[in-house]
Amino acid sequence: MSLILPEGFPAIQRLRAEGIQVECAADAAFRQPRPVRIAVLNLMPIKEDTETDIVRVFSDSPYTIDLQWMKVESHVSKHASPEHMAAFYRPFSAMAGEHFDGFIVTGAPLEQMEFEQVTYWDELRRIFDWAHSHVATTLYICWAAQAGLYHFHGIRKYAVGAKIFGIFPHRMLHPECPIFRNVDEVFMVPHSRHTTLRREDILACPELTLLSESDVPGVHLVMAGDGREFFVTGHSEYAVGTLDAEYRRDVSKGLPISLPEHYYRNDNPDEGPLLSWRSHGQCIYANWLKHYVVARNQF
Active site residues: 142, 235, 237
Rounded to whole angstroms, the Cα distance separating 191 from 205 reads 24
- Provide the total of helices (H) and of strands (E) in the chain, helices listed first: 9, 11
Rounded CA separation 157/164 (Å): 14
In 10 A of CB 212, how many CB atoms? 25
Q: Which amino acid is at 89?
A: Y
Q: Is residue 246 classed exposed, middle or buried when 0-12, 13-18 and 19+ CB atoms within 10 A define those classes?
A: middle
Q: Could you tell me which residues come within 8 angstroms of residue 297 by beta carbon, excluding any fewer than 6 positions away?
A: 36, 101, 136
Q: Using DSSP bridges, classify how beta strands 138-141 and 208-214 pair: parallel, antiparallel or unpaired.
A: unpaired
List the beta strands (DSSP E) in the chain.
3-4, 36-41, 65-71, 89-91, 102-105, 138-141, 158-172, 186-196, 208-214, 218-224, 229-232
Q: Which of 63, 49, 44 is nearest to 15 (CA)?
A: 49
Local structure of 107: helix, strand or coil: coil
